Chains A and B, each alone.
Chain A
Amino acid sequence: METLVLLLFVFILAAFLGFELIQKVPSQLHTPLMSGTNAISGITVVGAILACGVADGAFGKWLGFAAIVLATVNIVGGYVVTDRMLGMFKKKGK
């Protein structure tokens, strides 16, 4: 129970931090911001690695494997498209 309360505490603080961080982003950057945070949501790969990496576990292990593949597509794809988009935002005269 104690762990849970601690985790809830972390969750709430992270939520407020997230709101603060995004408040004043110019609309020009909305797409990269979205695809960049989209890549971060692939963090679930950590849970997938834990599920897939166990010594035995039959079905659950394979669910973990599928989750690793999907989350990595999300992560790598997300970061690469974001980088591609941001590479196009140029200042005048450069």
Chain B
Amino acid sequence: MDEKQYIDLAYIAASILFIFGIKMLGRAETARKGNLLSAAGMLLAMVATLFYKEVVDFPLILAGVAIGTAVGWVWAVKVKMTGMPELVALFNGFGGLASLLVGWAEFEFGKSPDAVTRVAIYAAVLIGAVTFTGSFVAYLKLAGKMSGRPTFFPGQKAVNAVLFVTLLVLGAIYAAQGPAWALYLIIALSLALGVLGVLPIGGGDMPVVIAFLNSFSGLAGAAAGFVILNKVLIVAGCLVGASGIILTIIMCKAMNRTFGNVLFGGFGAAGGSAGGTIEGEMKAVSAEDAYYVLEAAQSVVFVPGYGMAVAQAQHVVKELGSLLERNGAEVRYAIHPVAGRMPGHMNVLLAEADVPYEQLCEMDSVNPTMGQVDVAIIIGANDVVNPAASDDPGSPIYGMPIIKAHEARTVFALKRGKGTGFSGLENALFFRENCRMLYGDAKETIAGLVGQFKG
């Protein structure tokens, strides 16, 4: 056996570690160990690659790894949990850009690639570039460095369509003859496509976009694997691609929308034009009155949304939850699959605040019991508890599964002001007879309630 076969054996071992790692990530008890296994697989794959005869410039490689490790480590350790969505988006973009560069480098070596390799280079460069700029725009939106609202300009769809077709034509030209100008143009246009593709997607749709871009970064890696005929790249990249697609589908289902609608819909730009008018009025309540109701409650459900992340209220929420428990109430946290800005966003924040994960309930398990709940506390969530989704066929969000907070005996809704949610819709829940509004910053409001309990 020459060195290549030993390397392949190491790659097989790495692939097995990735597979077990991903499998173990799917269960709370084993997830942390699974992550370590997959990291071990990565280390193994990297070390094995150093044994190729062609690889000789170790100082440069080590320098690159050292820089990357330092930067990645510092960012990962420093980030606050509320900043997690944008950091994940940023890392994802880096992975995409790396795949783009690998494809490009292979072209620059000019080993006159055959048509098949050129198709692979095209795929790696295209997918990598879209992943990079798409993730970067998502990062800017999530970090609040640009508006989270969908951004439109006249003729946007036409521009995107032309861009897309041009990329297909250029791909065909490059695959057939391999001229350098075609590849450079492909890189430039793909970068533009990533920007233009994510611009019209609003903040509330970010869980879908992040999951999708995650899938794309994997596929870019797999495409790079076809360029250099490397099996571990193909296996690992494809595993990531497939898992990302599953998450994307789950997120879309949770919003009752097709993927195409998320990508091209520009949801939330229209601003509450459709939907029936809502009768009644929003009724405010003081923290003191809310306290008396909570004090008597036997069963309380918190429904957190993006507003809790913005107000960084997770720790006081947990404190209130503990006080309610000590007071004899059953406390649960009902989490909608697309609450927040990335898949599972609310779970991470509540876990940070030490909420045991047995209390974190999925929508489907909490909904049948909603009728027996004394108080539902909505913390900065809006569309995911809007009853119009189930009883108003005229509503744009009609058909979207919601947490049925309106079925609880009393609903307290914490909200900064009277504005609408991400979809731009008025929330019928807030006008219901059993709903009371607690206006103000969620963190301060909850802290006020905690004060009432203690005082």
Contacts and interface: CB of A to CB of B under 8 A. Distances in A.
Interface string A23-67: 111111111111111111111111111111111011111011111
B54 A28 contact: no
Interface size class of B (residues with CB under 8 A): 35 or more
B349 to A, nearest CB: 9
Given A22-B242, A68-B65, A79 B39 contact: yes
Contacts of A53: 50, 52, 54-58, 60-61
B354 interface: yes
Nearest to A6: B231
B202 interface: no
Nearest to B95: A74
Contact of B241 (A15, A64, A85): A15
A78 B79 CA distance: 12
B356 interface: yes
Contacts, number: 386
B60 A65 contact: yes
B214 A73 contact: no
B329 interface: no
A89 B45 CA distance: 29
Nearest to A55: B56
Contacts of B95: 38, 41-42, 44, 70-71, 74
Q: Which 7 A-B pairs have the closest CB atoms?
A: A72-B68, A18-B242, A68-B64, A30-B344, A77-B72, A53-B55, A76-B72
6 contacts: A3-B229, A10-B234, A18-B240, A30-B343, A67-B102, A74-B72
Interface of B: 18-19, 21-23, 25-28, 31-32, 34-36, 38-39, 42, 45-46, 49-50, 52, 54-58, 60-61, 63-65, 67-69, 71-73, 75-77, 79, 81, 84, 87-88, 91-92, 94-95, 97-99, 101-102, 104-109, 116, 210-211, 214, 217-218, 220-222, 224-247, 250, 335, 337, 342-345, 347-348, 351-352, 354, 356-360, 362
